[in-house]
Amino acid sequence: DGGSLAGGGEAFGDRSLSQGLSVLVGLGLCVTMLGLGCAVELGQLGQQLRRPVGLLLALLGQFVAMPLLAFLLALIFALDEVAAVAVLLCGCCPGGNLSNLMSVLVDGDMNLSIIMTASSTLLALFLMPLCLWIYSRHWINTAVVQLLPLGAVSLTLGSTLLPIGLGVLIRYRPPRAADLLVKISLWSLLVTLVILFILTGTMLGPDLLAHIPASVYAIAVLMPLAGYALGYGLATVFKMPPHCRRTVSLETGCQNVQLCTAILKLTFPPELIGGMYMFPLLYALFQSAEAGLFVLVYKMYGRESYKQDTLGEEEDTDISYKKLKEEEVADTSYGTVTTEEHNSIQMEPTQTAL
């Protein structure tokens, strides 16, 4: 028995606390989506659409691999319906902003990272409710699944388009402001999660640990780790270079936990929020810790190989450039022009050294 996460919800039934959390979660989500929009450049998006590898990887990683992984883990650990819905919801979410930051730290492909995050967010409008409907069939006879508000999920996803669009507009008007907003959105992600941890711990008090079974902790640890591995394997199948593999790995394992938290808080009855509310927070904790280990291992062991690859590319470019210059000299050394008289021009042959 995976235990129940439904307990501890009474504290979230308090009207003022519930409204305060809703405002906090809503504002945090808006700032995150605004930052995502500020990071998108339409020119790069157009290039990706002409060669949609990033779009395809986002589709396969976020809406095929991760939902299936969440479903299998819920079955393996025999979670009850409340915990299972929380895990499924997190698994069906699009990519999060954390992956963009981590991609920078592992010398990844930032264009690919941003395009995958943005495209998975847009695809989520249609695919996230579909995945939830498909994978919740196993628990269809339970009350929480019958209450699963797919329409409200779609509405919450749709509401994120406005800040994303505003961010794209800001990127093309004052670019410096866009860069600042990207940084603010990354800090807001950290600050919002810390505040939610504190408020949740305060409201649930000593009952917090009692209502989170060990199986939920195990899934919170294994799910992002397996997501990173699946993403790396997926990029390997597509024969992508190492820096792109690292990017796809992080994009697949990092979920938009703020979106997951917002959906749980804004669309489900307050009495159920107490337990379900905790899984995306735990997932955020462990996905950050594991991504941090990923970065640490890369800095210790993988950075040198990346520098050698980069140096090799530069040497190849220099050699090609030298060859081109030699060819240009050879091609133009057919003779020299001399003038003997005002109206006389004579070509004198010269020998080109080979």
Tokens 């505003």 belong to which residue? Answer: 166
- Cα–Cα distance for residue pair 228/295, rounded to 1 Å: 12
Confidence (pLDDT) at 321 = 37
Residue 141 has phi, psi (to 5 degrees) of: -85, 5
Q: Is 212 helix (H, G, I), strand (E, B) or coil?
A: coil
Q: Which residues pair with 346 in a beta bridge?
A: 338
State the amino acid at position 159 in one-letter form. Answer: S
The pLDDT of residue 16 is 58
Query: What does pLDDT average to over the chain?
Result: 75
Q: What's the pLDDT score for residue 319? A: 42
Is residue 148 scored above 80 in pLDDT? no
Entry pTM: 0.73
pLDDT of 257 strictly over 80: yes
Model confidence pLDDT, tens digit, residues 154-177: 777 777 778 878 887 887 777 777
Q: Give the pLDDT confidence score for residue 62 in this predicted structure.
A: 93
Q: Which CATH number is 26-311's, of 3.55.40.20, 1.20.1530.20, 3.30.1360.120, 3.40.50.970?
A: 1.20.1530.20
Count of positions (residues) in the chain: 354
Query: At residue 247, what is the residue type?
Result: T
**Cβ pair 49, 55 in contact under 8 A:** yes
- Of 148, 117, 147, the residue nearest 131 (C-alpha): 148
Backbone phi, then psi, for 319, in 5-degree steps?
-60, -45
Among 48, 18, 15, 16, residue whose Cα is nearest residue 277: 18
